[in-house]
């Protein structure tokens, strides 16, 4: 009978029974053996194992291989006096809230226009799983990789970005790459120009490193050259951060006729440009513009790219392309920060992106994002005529300008009460703005839910 009874409800029943048993016993007590439980509870061994796994997962019990299963020590209530830490630590430069909110899963009955990762239907999860399983079984996969990354993966990124392989450094995800790059170039206390609105994770990185973000406004063609020039003059900054291709949050593209002026203005300032190319494969049309790197003739542009947006958030693989002495500084700081990048993930990434299904995946991803954006645009025009926006050309989100007097945080709170999670625009600013915005993200929202989401938003004003 045992295996036949191994279904979800029996697992839940056994879990509840064992949880009650664990609660009744003192910490450290041994639970009956799995064999004994199989007999006593009349269920299969798989059911017992799954119940124990669930209790290990939530910390109720712990298993010692070969010895058995024991009741875990209860989590102690924090009673130590740590107030001395508040004096020792002083003011904090670390502001993670805007970053955490884009990572947190809303509760199940909420429509999610907040998280910046693809829902599972758009992730190539089964091919990612197969690629990783193959990579992990190679004997060399667990050894120390070259500190710059495996040659195969460097070659692939170089091809994608129009770079030389020797200029490519594999990094542990795009965010890790940005962290290393932004800390490599200018010392703490320096001003850094940021094309706004901008990615909260980059703003938080700058502030955490003691750098001072200075806003430079964008319009639908990207950063405004005349204001960029003035900002360099006014601050003496030696670093500009921007997302020329499908910027977060508004999906704009730096216009072709602005690429040369931006490079020239940075050159006159003796400054580097960090190109955050996170959305290269998230265009809603056929072809993304080339990376700004391609127009760079003097090692001015440092490009950061990542696979996690197009492939899945847990594939922590990205890259940095840099030329000249700065490449050595970045590579040196990355070694100091991380030693190496997990080789199994590097090899899995190569398997995935050179596999036959990758281009098809990118095409269907682009089509799905385009369909969601189109549906969102139609619904907003219908339901929210007082809000303004420009249709994004790529990426995950639309940047909605709210009517004068609207408070973005209050509006987001009311929408959440009604079952819709959205991102308040102020997380994307580095200084005062002339209008409030919401970021409407459609990475995790299936197309058929777009209309309902916009109706909830309209009802929340």
Site for its own copies in 256-285 (CB under 8 A): 267, 270-272
Structure tokens belonging to residue 81: 């006096």
Among 113, 128, 231, 454, binds its own copies (CB under 8 A): 128
Residue 68 near residue 185, CB atoms below 8 Å: no
Nearer to its own copies, 24 or 356 (CB): 356
Among 1, 4, 24, 143, binds its own copies (CB under 8 A): 143
* 391 is a site residue for its own copies (CB under 8 A): no
Instruction: Write the binding mask 190 to 209 for its own copies: x where contact by CB under 8 A, - elsewhere.
Output: -----------x--xx--x-
* Residue 367: closest CA among 432, 281, 269, 271: 281
Distance CA 196, CA 201 (A): 13
Shortest distance, position 413 Cβ to its own copies, whole Å: 22
* Residue 394 preceded by cis peptide, ω within 30: no
Touching its own copies, residues 297-316 (CB under 8 A)? 297-299, 312-316
Distance CA 273, CA 300 (A): 6
Touching its own copies, residues 399-458 (CB under 8 A)? none
* Residue 197 preceded by cis peptide, ω within 30: yes
Among 333, 371, 374, 452, binds its own copies (CB under 8 A): 333
Residue 300 near residue 171, CB atoms below 8 Å: no
Structure tokens belonging to residue 105: 């899963």
Touching its own copies, residues 313-332 (CB under 8 A)? 313-316, 323-326, 329, 331-332
* Residue 455: closest CA among 352, 356, 382, 347: 382
Instruction: Write the binding mask 87 to 126 for its own copies: x where contact by CB under 8 A, - elsewhere.
Output: xxxx-x-xxx--xx--xxx---------x-x--x--x-x-
Nearer to its own copies, 346 or 460 (CB): 346
Residue 444 to residues 15, 248, 391: CA-CA distances in angstroms? 32, 15, 18
Residue 317 near residue 306, CB atoms below 8 Å: yes
Helix (H) or strand (E) segment spanning residue 216:
strand 212-219
Residue 393 near residue 370, CB atoms below 8 Å: no
Shortest distance, position 455 Cβ to its own copies, whole Å: 27
Shortest distance, position 350 Cβ to its own copies, whole Å: 9
Touching its own copies, residues 32-71 (CB under 8 A)? 53, 56-59, 62-63, 65-66
Instruction: Write the binding mask 145 to 174 for its own copies: x where contact by CB under 8 A, - elsewhere.
Output: x-x--xxx--xx-xx----xxx-----xx-
Residue 167 to residues 299, 310, 348: CA-CA distances in angstroms? 10, 23, 22
By CB under 8 A, which span of 17-25, 254-262, 291-299, 377-385 interacts with its own copies?
291-299
Shortest distance, position 86 Cβ to its own copies, whole Å: 6
Among 1, 8, 75, 287, binds its own copies (CB under 8 A): 75
Shortest distance, position 265 Cβ to its own copies, whole Å: 14
Nearer to its own copies, 165 or 455 (CB): 165
Structure tokens belonging to residue 16: 């509840």
Distance CA 53, CA 62 (A): 9
Shortest distance, position 210 Cβ to its own copies, whole Å: 6
Touching its own copies, residues 215-244 (CB under 8 A)? 238
């Amino acid at each position: 009978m045992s295996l036949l009874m191994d279904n979800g409800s029996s697992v839940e029943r056994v879990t509840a029974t064992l949880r009650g048993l664990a609660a009744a016993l003192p910490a450290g007590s041994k639970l009956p053996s799995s064999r004994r439980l199989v007999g006593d509870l009349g269920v299969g061994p798989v059911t017992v194992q799954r119940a124990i796994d669930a209790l290990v997962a939530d910390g109720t019990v712990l298993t010692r291989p070969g010895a058995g299963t024991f009741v875990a020590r209860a989590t102690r209530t924090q009673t130590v006096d740590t107030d001395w830490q508040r004096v020792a630590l002083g003011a904090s430069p670390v502001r993670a809230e805007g970053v955490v909110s884009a990572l947190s899963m809303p509760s199940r009955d909420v429509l999610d226009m907040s998280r910046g990762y693809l829902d599972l239907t758009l992730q190539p999860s089964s091919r990612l799983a197969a690629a990783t399983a193959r990579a992990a079984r190679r004997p060399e996969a667990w050894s120390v990789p070259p500190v710059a990354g495996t040659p195969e993966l460097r070659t692939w990124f170089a091809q994608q970005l129009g770079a030389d392989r020797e200029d490519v450094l594999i990094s542990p995800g795009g965010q890790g790459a940005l962290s290393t790059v932004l800390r490599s170039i200018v010392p703490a206390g320096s001003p850094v120009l940021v094309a706004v609105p901008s990615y909260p994770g980059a703003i938080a990185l700058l502030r955490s490193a003691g750098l001072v973000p200075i806003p430079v406004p964008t319009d639908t063609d990207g950063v405004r050259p005349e204001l960029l020039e003035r900002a360099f003059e006014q601050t003496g900054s030696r670093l500009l951060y921007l997302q020329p291709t499908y910027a977060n949050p508004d999906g704009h593209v730096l216009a072709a006729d602005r690429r040369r002026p931006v490079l020239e203005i940075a050159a006159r300032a003796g400054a580097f440009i960090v190109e955050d190319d996170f959305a290269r494969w998230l265009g809603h049309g056929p072809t993304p513009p080339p990376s700004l790197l391609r127009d760079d003739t003097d090692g001015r542009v440092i490009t950061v790219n990542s696979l996690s947006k197009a492939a899945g958030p847990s594939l922590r693989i990205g890259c940095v392309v840099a030329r000249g002495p700065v490449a050595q500084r970045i590579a040196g700081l990355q070694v100091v920060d991380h030693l190496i990048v997990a080789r199994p993930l590097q090899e899995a990434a190569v398997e995935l992106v050179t596999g036959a299904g990758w281009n098809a995946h990118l095409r269907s991803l682009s089509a799905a994002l385009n369909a969601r954006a189109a549906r969102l645009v139609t619904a907003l025009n219908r339901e929210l005529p007082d809000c303004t926006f420009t249709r994004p050309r790529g990426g995950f989100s639309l940047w909605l300008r709210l009517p004068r007097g609207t408070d973005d945080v209050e509006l987001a709170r009311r929408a959440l009460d009604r079952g819709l999670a959205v991102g308040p625009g102020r997380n994307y600013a580095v200084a005062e703005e002339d209008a409030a915005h919401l970021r409407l993200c459609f990475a995790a929202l299936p197309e058929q839910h777009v209309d309902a989401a916009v109706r909830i938003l309209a009802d929340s004003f």
